[in-house]
């Protein structure tokens, strides 16, 4: 059986990874290769820390789960996969006029590199996000991770190209950048989500150092891991600053739908008037992770050597053709069917999920307030932020938080969370942890917070 594990990139590696199979342990003298002979990213913290955290989580499957940033599972239904597949094939026949042979070919055969659900994606963006995207500017990818990789691979032409990223940063972004040998320069997120002075300073310092900052990665809505969201005014300012500094903005938006009931702030892409934003889309939290379907909207105009102008999406498509050829049309059909079943609205498709995440978030925030009342002796130095939506809450504690403490927490107290330092490629987050509210069962939340309080009480002494 597959070992179920936690993760901070939302991947889930088995604990076997890195383990030495029994039969090999007897023969350590005969390695065929050394990691020194392999790409240096394989030694990078972003790729290794994940495995370590997954291993800890894998050892304590009974612990209360505040670590995994995965979607909840309570509404999973196997029959949905069949129903979505049929909805999509019906759509091909009915709405797109395909013959039975064409429908079969579309599902079975090699297919369009940019994908077959691009028009449904564009309609979804119009319906849910107010983004008017040309379907030709959409590249459907193997999850959002491949979308990030395609963009970074395209932008990295040599050692001078660097990426800026608002810190703390999603580990999957940092790892993808390592794989294309592209340094990531952290920009302080501060208390509000982006420190603009630092953004400008980092970009200018990089240019002074002979580097070429190409883009800045940002998650404006309920960011992973900070939980922070940018205000409308900050979004407008970010677009202006990016333009002034010649940066593309890589907007990642996996959690925007799961807001707290307030009116949603427009995405950067919805506000983008100058094609400054490359929009990275995920269906993992809003449709199903197992489809591994994401996308990128890349409407930037690219001039080739002959002066012809095309879309950045078509350049990304060329890269994709050499990376994964195309995204499984069967997997796309499952997501496409879910979109069709809900009028292309993922808001409509996620009413139950949205309620569940909001309920969990409220329970966690209320539970923290009840256990660490202001002014009480046990509350000294214990703080947390209060996102109105999304999957994550960040706690600051009066002592260092590291993997050893996580292991202690799992073993002695039966509660799992993620040390924030893993989301900093450098100093930062030393006294912080991330609580994810998305997969924990409601009836376990108070138990988990009791255990967390007991840990904090012990460690504060």
**Residues contacting residue 438 through CB under 8 Å, at least 6 positions apart:** 68, 69, 70, 71, 72, 285, 357, 360, 391
Task: Decide: 174 and 425 in contact? Cβ < 8 Å.
Answer: yes
Residues 182, 283: Cα–Cα separation, whole Å: 26
- 3-class state of residue 7 by DSSP: coil
Q: Give 205 or 318: the residue with its C-beta nearer to its own copies.
A: 318
Tell me how far, at minimum, the Cβ of 227 lies from its own copies, in Å.
Answer: 20
Task: Decide: 225 and 170 in contact? Cβ < 8 Å.
Answer: yes
Tell me how far, at minimum, the Cβ of 352 lies from its own copies, in Å.
Answer: 15
Q: Give 156 or 235: the residue with its C-beta nearer to its own copies.
A: 156
Residues 403, 421: Cα–Cα separation, whole Å: 9
Work out the number of other CB atoms within 10 angstroms of the CB of residue 89: 19
Residues 170, 143: Cα–Cα separation, whole Å: 15
Tell me how far, at minimum, the Cβ of 293 lies from its own copies, in Å.
Answer: 8
**Residues contacting residue 15 through CB under 8 Å, at least 6 positions apart:** 3, 5, 54, 55, 58, 59
Provide the 8-state DSSP code for 40. G
Q: Give 77 or 263: the residue with its C-beta nearer to its own copies.
A: 77
Q: Give 16 or 240: the residue with its C-beta nearer to its own copies.
A: 16
Q: Give 158 or 377: the residue with its C-beta nearer to its own copies.
A: 158
Work out the number of other CB atoms within 10 angstroms of the CB of residue 159: 12
Residues 366, 393: Cα–Cα separation, whole Å: 12
Tell me how far, at minimum, the Cβ of 214 lies from its own copies, in Å.
Answer: 8
Q: Give 2 or 262: the residue with its C-beta nearer to its own copies.
A: 2
Tell me how far, at minimum, the Cβ of 64 lies from its own copies, in Å.
Answer: 18
Tell me how far, at minimum, the Cβ of 69 lies from its own copies, in Å.
Answer: 10
């Amino acid at each position: 059986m597959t070992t179920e594990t936690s993760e901070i990139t939302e991947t889930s590696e088995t604990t076997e990874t890195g383990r030495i199979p029994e039969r090999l342990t007897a023969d350590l003298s005969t390695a065929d290769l050394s990691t020194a002979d392999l790409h240096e990213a394989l030694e990078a913290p972003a790729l290794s820390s994940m495995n370590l955290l997954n291993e800890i989580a894998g050892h304590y499957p009974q612990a209360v789960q505040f670590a995994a940033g995965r979607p909840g599972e309570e509404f999973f239904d196997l029959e949905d996969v069949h129903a979505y597949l049929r909805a999509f094939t019906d759509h091909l026949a009915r709405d797109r006029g395909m013959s039975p042979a064409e429908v079969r070919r579309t599902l079975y055969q090699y297919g369009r590199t940019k994908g077959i659900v691009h028009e449904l994606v564009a309609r979804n963006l119009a319906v849910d996000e107010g983004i008017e995207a040309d379907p030709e500017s959409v590249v459907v990818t193997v999850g959002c991770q491949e979308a990030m990789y395609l963009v970074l691979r395209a932008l990295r032409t040599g050692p001078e190209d660097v990426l800026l990223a608002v810190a703390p940063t999603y580990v999957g972004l940092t790892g993808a950048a390592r794989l294309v040998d592209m340094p990531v320069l952290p920009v302080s997120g501060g208390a509000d989500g982006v420190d603009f002075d630092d953004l400008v300073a980092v970009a200018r310092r990089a240019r002074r150092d002979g580097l070429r900052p190409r883009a800045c990665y940002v998650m404006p809505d309920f960011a992973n891991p900070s939980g922070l969201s940018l205000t409308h005014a900050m979004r407008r300012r970010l677009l202006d600053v990016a333009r002034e500094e010649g940066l593309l903005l890589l907007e990642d938006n996996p959690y925007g739908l799961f807001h707290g009931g307030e009116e949603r702030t427009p995405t950067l892409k919805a506000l983008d008037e100058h094609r400054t934003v490359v929009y990275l889309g995920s269906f993992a939290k809003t449709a199903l992770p197992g489809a591994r379907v994401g996308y990128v909207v890349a409407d930037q105009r690219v001039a080739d050597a002959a002066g012809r102008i095309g879309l950045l999406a078509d350049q990304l498509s060329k890269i994709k053709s050499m990376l994964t050829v195309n995204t499984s049309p069967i997997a796309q059909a499952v997501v496409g069917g879910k979109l069709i079943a809900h009028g292309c609205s993922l808001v409509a498709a996620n009413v139950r999920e949205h309620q569940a995440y909001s309920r969990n978030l409220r329970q966690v925030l209320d539970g923290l307030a009840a256990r660490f009342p202001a002014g009480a002796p046990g509350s000294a130095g214990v703080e947390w932020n209060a996102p109105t939506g999304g999957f994550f809450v960040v706690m600051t504690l009066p002592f260092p938080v590291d993997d050893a403490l996580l292991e202690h927490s799992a073993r002695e107290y039966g509660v799992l969370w993620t040390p924030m330092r893993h989301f900093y490629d450098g100093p930062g987050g030393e006294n912080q942890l991330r609580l994810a509210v998305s997969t924990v069962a409601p009836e376990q939340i108070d138990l988990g917070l009791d255990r967390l309080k007991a840990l904090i009480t012990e460690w504060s002494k």
